[in-house]
Structure 1
Amino acid sequence: MKFSTVVEPPEPMRGLEVPAEIVEDLGGGARPRVKITVNGHSWRSRVAIMRGRHLLGLSNANRQAAGVAIGDEVEVDLELDTEPRLVAEPPDFVQALDGDPAARAAYDKLTDSRKREHVRAIESAKKPETRRRRIEKAIAALRG
């Protein structure tokens, strides 16, 4: 589904407003997972609802990759994203999770974005000892 909108400033959220009828026509509920394409650049996200409006978040990286600026009118191609969102856990984290059934059960219940947060924290470590500490911290947090 295509529609035109304006790139909004970051208050309350830099993004693209989606007309309510477009969200309804997608058929994925009030906050559907979607694939967004602007100027040939695509990314996956979820429709947010803020102050009664449907919005698509627009990170600086996606804004720059699409070549748009705040205030620009843009053509958006939006489609329902039905592909599963998989998070690739690093082997050392998988080993730690598999060694702790309570942590594994808690991790498996997390949303994809929360899983990604744990994985990014671990993978961004520059030193092996930092990585190990972050894995231990994640396991402890998951245990509660």
Structure 2
Amino acid sequence: MKFLSYVEPPEPMRGLLVPPEVVEALGEGSRPPVTITLNGHSWRSRVAFLRGRHLIGLSHANRRAAGVEIGEEVEVELELDTEPRVVVEPEDFARALDDDPAARAAYDHLTYSRKREHVRAVESAKMPETRRRRIEKAIATLRG
């Protein structure tokens, strides 16, 4: 489904306004999972509902990859995302989870976004010691 939108400034977030009729046509409620394509660049997200408006968040990285600027009118292609959202765990993190059944059970019950946060924290560590500490912290947090 294609529509025109403006790249909005961060008030309170940078994004693309999605017409209500587009959200309704997707048929998955007010916050459907979607694949967005902008100037040939695609990413997965959810439609947000903020201050009475449907929006798609537009990070600096996605804005740059799509080659769009704030204030620009753009053609947005939006599709319902029906693919399962899967987070691939790094081997060392997966091993630590498997070694702790309580942490593994807690992790397996997390939402896609929460799993992704744990994995990003581990993968963004620059030093092996930092990575190890982050894995230990994640396991402790998951254990409760």
TM-score, structure 1 length as denominator? 0.96
Q: 1:122 aligns to what? A: 122
User: What is the deviation of 1:126?
Assistant: 2.1
Letter in 1 for 2:113: S
Q: 2:13 aligns to what? A: 13
Structure 1 runs (4+) deviating above 4 angstroms are none
Partners in 1 of 2:126 and 2:60 — Cα distance?
Answer: 25
User: How many residue pairs align between the two structures?
Assistant: 144
Q: 1:45 aligns to what? A: 45
Q: 1:112 aligns to what? A: 112
User: What is the deviation of 1:111?
Assistant: 1.3
Q: 2:67 aligns to what? A: 67
User: What is the deviation of 1:41?
Assistant: 1.0
Return 5+ residue gaps in structure 2 as ranges: none
C-alpha RMSD of matched pairs (Å): 0.9
Partners in 2 of 1:91 and 1:12 — Cα distance?
Answer: 37
Q: 2:32 aligns to what? A: 32
Does 2:85 correspond to 1:98?
no
User: What is the deviation of 1:67?
Assistant: 1.0
User: What is the deviation of 1:117?
Assistant: 1.1
Partners in 1 of 2:60 and 2:132 — Cα distance?
Answer: 31
